[in-house]
Amino acid sequence: MSQGMQEPWIQNLENVYHRAQHVLSWAFIGVGFAGSIGNILTLRVFTKMGCSNTFQISCSALAVSDLCCVIAFLICGITNLLGSNFGDGAFFYVGNFVGITFSRTTALITAWLSLERCLCVAFPTKVKLIITHTLTRVVLLAIFFIGGSILFIALMVFGIKFNDDSQSNKTSVIFREYEQPRLNGFQQLLMLLVGLFIPVFSWVSVTICTTFLIVKLKKTVNWRRVNAQAAPVWSTETRGVETSQNQSRSVKEKRAMKVVIAVAGIFLICTAPNSAHLLASFVLRDYFFDGSLRYLFAINSMLCMLLTQLNSSINMIVFAVLGYNFRSTLLQVLSEGFSTLCCGRFSTH
């Protein structure tokens, strides 16, 4: 295709990009504020519940990572509306990379949550010896250490520079990679970690664990239905005693399993477009921020960022809908906050 035939197509993509940039920036801000409030409430609820088990500890760590991811993309939306362009805004670039890094941290924590539930189902009598509070904290700290290491490598590879435009006689702040050959290895490592290894590992792990949990949950439901129908009449009293003893434990495990399945399912749905986007950037040579398809790449990048932000904002709803203890504690926290606010206004008047 000749250059003359490419220019109108690229011009149309540029026009679409500028329209989408404004709309998606407001979406980043709206979802960012809602997600920040949701994750702060999630942390408050789990703190009030005491984080008494490993599941609550992992969910609290997930809320911390989600909160950082949501705030980073919120900053991207604000800086975009203040006039920074997608490719040249330093603060947008920093917020974008911080948000992506914490989204990878969220992905690893989601994979850990899925694996933890699978072990609880596969080894119900030994799981407390396998997954302890200490092991859970060590794994979560290791995951956050990986995210911090990625940010440290980014600071080594990238930096803020001042770009002088002779035509417009303006100086813009840009976020670009250092042109030093000794940093090429760190750049490649950064791209592989953020763009390939962590997303693929998380996606595959969550998919396998979620499939296992869904199959196991269906088998459990079918087994209980068949067992209840096949039980003799004279054993009704015995069965009732046994059910009362095991029901509370099985209900808690089933609710936790449903929460993990829902969180993992939302994660897979929201990250599937991003996986395709990353794969296309590796396969297509011009599909990058400096290629001929740069505007299409920019539009898809913002859409993937919005889906990632949604994934980090919706977990509180999942916890509240599927978790009875979380829902009751959340209502208590909201009631206490409302009462404190009303008492503060009354004392002021």
Domain of residue 181, CATH code? 1.20.1070.10
User: Is residue 342 assigned to a domain?
Assistant: no
The domain total for the chain is 1
pTM confidence score: 0.81
Tokens matching residue 28: 């980043």
CA neighbor of 72 nearest in space, from 110, 39, 42: 39
Q: Under 8 Å CB-to-CB from 267, ≥6 apart: which residues?
A: 106, 107, 110, 206, 311
- The answer to whether residue 88 is domain-embedded is yes
189-208 confidence digits (pLDDT tens): 777 777 778 888 888 899 99
Q: Is residue 8 part of a domain?
A: no
Q: Reduced to 3 states, what is the DSSP secondary structure of residue 124? A: coil
Contact 118, 210 (CB under 8 A): no
In a domain, 6, yes or no: no
Q: Which residue positions in the chain have pLDDT lower than 50? A: 1-6, 84-87, 171, 173, 178, 181, 233-239, 241-242, 245
Instruction: Specify burial of residue 268 (Cβ count, 10 A radius: 0-12, 13-18, 19+).
Output: middle
Any domain includes 81: yes
Question: Three-state SS for 168?
Answer: coil
**Amino acid in position 30:** G
Residue 13 domain-assigned (yes or no) = no
Please report the sign of the dihedral spanned by the C-alpha atoms of residue 2, residue 86, residue 201, residue 309.
negative
Q: How far apart are CA 161 and CA 179, in angstroms?
A: 12
- Return the structure tokens found at 98: 């911080």
DSSP annotation of 193 reads I
Range of the domain at 275: 27-221+243-335
Is 340 among the domain residues? no
- Residues 6+ positions from 81 with CB-CB distance below 8 Å: 22, 25, 26, 29
**pLDDT value of residue 234:** 44
Per-residue model confidence (pLDDT) at position 4: 43
CA 112, 117, 123, 128 torsion: positive or negative? positive
Parallel, antiparallel or unpaired: strands 158-165 and 170-177: antiparallel
Element of type H or E holding 184: helix 184-192
User: Is 209 part of a structural domain of the chain?
Assistant: yes
- Count the Cβ atoms, other than its own, within 10 Å of residue 12: 11
Angle (CA) 187-191-193 rounded to 5° is 115
Residue 340: CA count within 13 A, CB half-sphere: 6
Closest CA to 271 of 172, 337, 201: 201
